[in-house]
Amino acid sequence: MTDINRIPLYRTIWRWHFYAGLFVIPFILILSVTGAAYLFKPQIDRWEERAWRGLPTAGAVDADAQVAAALAAYPGAAFQYYRIPEASGDAAVVHLGLAKGGMRDVAVSPQGRVIGSADPDSRISAWLSRIHGTLLIGRTGRLLVELAASWAIVMILTGLYLWWPRGRGAAGVVWPRLSLGGRAMLRDLHAVTGFWVSGLALVLLFTALPWTDVWASGFRAIRAEMGWVSGVQEWKGGADSHAIHDGRAMAATVPSGPPPRARLDYIVMRARTEHMPAPAIIQPPGAPNAFGPPNGNVWTLTTLTQNRPQVRKVSYDPATSLEVSRSGFAEKHAIDRVVGYGIAWHEGQLFGLANQVIGTLTALALFTLAISGFLMWRRRKPDDAIGAPPPSRDPAKLRGIAAIILLLAVLLPLLAASLILLWIVERLVLPRLPHVARWLGVVARRPVR
pLDDT in tens, 111-139: 999 999 999 999 999 999 999 999 999 99
Same domain, 180 and 157: yes
Whether residue 227 has pLDDT greater than 90:
no
Same domain, 24 and 81: no
Helices 413-424, 138-163: inter-axial angle, 10-degree rounding: 80
What percentage of the chain exceeds 90 in pLDDT?
A: 68
How many other C-beta atoms can be found within 10 angstroms of the C-beta atom of residue 218? 15
Residue 157 phi, psi dihedral angles, 5° rounding: -65, -40
Number of domains in the chain: 2
155 close to 91: Cβ distance less than 8 angstroms: no
Average pLDDT, integer, range 385-406: 74
Q: pLDDT tier at 243 (50, 70, 90 boundaries)?
A: very low
For residue 300, tell me if it sits in a domain: yes
Same domain, 356 and 339: no
75-89, 263-277, 394-408: least confident range: 394-408
> What pLDDT score was predicted for residue 165?
86
Q: pLDDT tier at 224 (50, 70, 90 boundaries)?
A: confident
Same domain, 280 and 394: no
Of 345, 377, 405, the residue at which a domain comes to its end is: 345
For residue 412, tell me if it sits in a domain: yes
Q: pLDDT tier at 349 (50, 70, 90 boundaries)?
A: very high
> How many angstroms from the chain centroid is the CA of residue 446?
44
Same domain, 252 and 204: no
CA dist 172 to 163, 164, 234, 260, Å? 9, 11, 44, 68
194-198, 292-296, 316-320: least confident range: 292-296
Same domain, 315 and 429: no
For residue 377, tell me if it sits in a domain: yes
Amino acid 61 reads V
Of the two residues 340 and 399, the one the predictor is more confident about is 340
Q: pLDDT tier at 307 (50, 70, 90 boundaries)?
A: very high
Residue 361 phi, psi dihedral angles, 5° rounding: -65, -35
For residue 128, tell me if it sits in a domain: no
User: What contacts 301, CB < 8 A, 6 or more positions away?
Assistant: 267, 270, 271, 274, 276, 280, 281, 282, 313, 314, 315, 316
For residue 19, tell me if it sits in a domain: yes
Could you report the per-residue pLDDT of 361-376, keeping only the tens digit for each? Answer: 999 999 999 999 999 9
Indicate whether this model's pTM tops 0.75: yes
For residue 407, tell me if it sits in a domain: yes
H or E element at residue 387: none
Mean pLDDT of the chain: 88
Of 345, 367, 388, the residue at which a domain comes to its end is: 345
Could you report the per-residue pLDDT of 247-276, keeping only the tens digit for each? Answer: 444 555 555 555 667 899 999 999 999 999
Candidates 186, 246, 203; CA nearest to 338 is 203
Rounded to whole angstroms, how far apart are CA atoms 231 and 185?
53
For residue 227, tell me if it sits in a domain: no
For residue 130, tell me if it sits in a domain: no
Domain encompassing residue 164: 1-38+135-212+350-442
Give the DSSP letter of residue 426.
Answer: I
Q: pLDDT tier at 12 (50, 70, 90 boundaries)?
A: confident
Phi-psi region of 151 (alpha: psi -120 to 50; beta: other; left: phi over 0): alpha
